[in-house]
A = this chain, B = another copy of it.
Amino acid sequence: MASKAREASIILAASGTEQKNKALEKIAEALLNNKDDIIRANQSDIERSQSENISAPLLKRLKFDESKISDVVDGIYSLIQLEDPVGSTLMATQLDEGLCLYKVSCPIGVIGVIFESRPDALVQISTLCLKSGNCVLLKGGSEARETNRILAEIISRETKEAGIPEGWIQLLETRSDVNEMLKMDEYIDLVIPRGSNEFVRYIIDNSRIPVLGHADGICHCYVHQEADIDMAVKVAVDSKTQYVSVCNATETLLVDESIAPAFLPQLKIKMEEKRVELVGCDKTRVIISIKKADEKDWKTEYLDYKLSIKIVKDINEAIQHINTYGSGHTDSIITGNKEAANMFMNLVDSGNVLWNCSTRFSDGFRYGFGAEVGVSTNKIHARGPVGLEGLLIYKYKLIGNGHIVEDYSNKRRSFTHVKIK
C-alpha cells in the first residue's frame, strides 16, 4: 500500500489546480448524494459501540449525522476556494546570465495520519492532503470503522473518476498495519498522529519517520503583577473551563506574589462556580483554602475540571517555570505592562505565546487557517496549528544553457546572484 501511495504521489504532485478542485467538488457532491448510506454505516458503528459500552463523549465524537456531513461539505467548498499552495515560486535568483534558480513549493509526498474516532477528521484530513497534492494513508479509530470505510470508498472512487491517481488515499484498519507503517520510512515522508498523549508518545518512540504533532498540552496562564484583575479572572476561567478536554486548555495558573492576595479570592469564587478543583503551592494556600499541589501537578495535563496554582516571585520565575514544565504548546500572560508582555512572548519557548487572551484561542480555525491537520509542538518544519502549508515543502529548480561548474571554479565566469524574487 505504501509503495503504491509513493507511486501515486509523483503523479498527484504534478496534478493541476483545476483537476484537484474538480475532484474535491465530486467528493462534496458524493457525500451529499450518499448521505443515507453514510448515516446507516455510522448507525451501525454507534450501535456496536453502545453494546461495547464506550463512553458518552466518545459516542458523541463518533456520531456522523446529516449536520456533520453538511459541515464537512461546507469545509470542502471553502478548501476549493483557497489558493493552490503547490507550485508557488518562493524565491528566484539569477545566478549568472542564463542560469536561474527557482525555489518552488511542492507537496511533501506520502503522509500517514492516525486519528481519533471522529469520522469528520477523515474527510478533513484527506481533502487537505488532496488540495496540497499529498497522498495519505489513514488509520481512524476502530469504533468508526464502518463509517470510515464508506467515506474512504467514496473519496477514492470520486477522485479516481476525476483523474487523480488510484492509491492516493488508502485506509489502514488494524493496529498492526500502523506498526508496519511506522517502519516504512522509505515510502512515507511524515506521520501525523492525533489522539491521546500516550498514543502520540508511542508513535514518536516507535517511528523513524518524522512525526508532526504534540503529545502533551500543558498550557499556562500567568497573571503578572500589573494585570487587570477582572480581565485576569475572566481569561483564566475561559482558559481552564471553556472546553476542558482539549490540548489548549490551561492546566497551571502562575500568579505574581504581589497581586495574589487581591486576585486569588476572586478567582476561587469563579472557578468554584464552574466546579473546578483547585490545588496550589504553599504560598497559594496561605491566601485561599485549597488542597496542596505537589511537583507532579506541574507536569500533569489534567484534561479535566482541575487547575494547579503556583505563586511566583516575578516574571523571570514564571518564564522559567513554563520553560521547565510546559510542553511548548500555548502560554498566556495577563498584564497591562507592554514590556513585560514582550519579554514573556520572546522568552517563553512555545509555539503559541499569548498576551491578554485565553489559551483556548490557539487552533487552526480561530487563527483563520481553515481546517487544520493538528497542532505541532515540534521545533522544526511547522509549529502551532498546522493547516495546508504544513503539508508542503519546496524543491530548487535550476535552469541553465549548458552551464558547468568548472567555468566558475577556474574564474572564467563569476556568479551574479541577482534576486529576481
Interface residues of A (CB under 8 A from B): 9-11, 13-14, 93, 95, 99, 101, 108-109, 189-190, 204-205, 208, 210, 212, 228, 231, 234-235, 237-239, 242-243, 319, 323, 341, 343, 345-347, 349-358, 360-362, 366-368, 378-381, 383-385, 393-406, 408-409, 415, 417
Contacts and interface: CB of A to CB of B under 8 A. Distances in A.
Given A108-B379, A368-B417, A415-B366, A357 B238 contact: no
Contacts of A362: 396, 398
A211 B238 CA distance: 39
What DSSP secondary structure best describes chain A's contact surface? mixed
A395 B384 contact: yes
B415 A368 contact: yes
A380 B415 contact: no
A238 B409 CA distance: 11
B393 A358 contact: no
A319 B7 CA distance: 12
A242 B404 CA distance: 9
Contact of A405 (B231, B366, B367): B366
A233 to B, nearest CB: 10
A100 to B, nearest CB: 10
15 contacts: A10-B347, A13-B349, A99-B357, A108-B380, A212-B380, A235-B402, A237-B404, A238-B405, A353-B398, A355-B399, A361-B398, A366-B408, A368-B415, A379-B393, A383-B395
Contacts of A398: 352-355, 357, 361-362
A108 B351 CA distance: 11
A353 B93 CA distance: 15
A21 to B, nearest CB: 19
B10 A399 contact: no
A271 to B, nearest CB: 14
A108 B379 CA distance: 6
Nearest to A355: B399
A320 to B, nearest CB: 9
Contacts of A238: 404-406
A89 to B, nearest CB: 13
Contact of A380 (B11, B13, B210): B210
Contacts of A239: 404
Contacts of A408: 366
Contact of A95 (B234, B360, B368): B368
B404 A358 contact: yes
A345 B401 CA distance: 15
A234 B417 CA distance: 23
Given A108-B380, A353-B398, A383-B393, 7 more contacts: A228-B402, A234-B404, A352-B395, A352-B398, A355-B399, A380-B393, A385-B396
Contacts of A235: 402-404
B395 A361 contact: no
B367 A399 contact: no
A396 B353 contact: yes
Contacts of A402: 228, 231, 234-235, 356-357
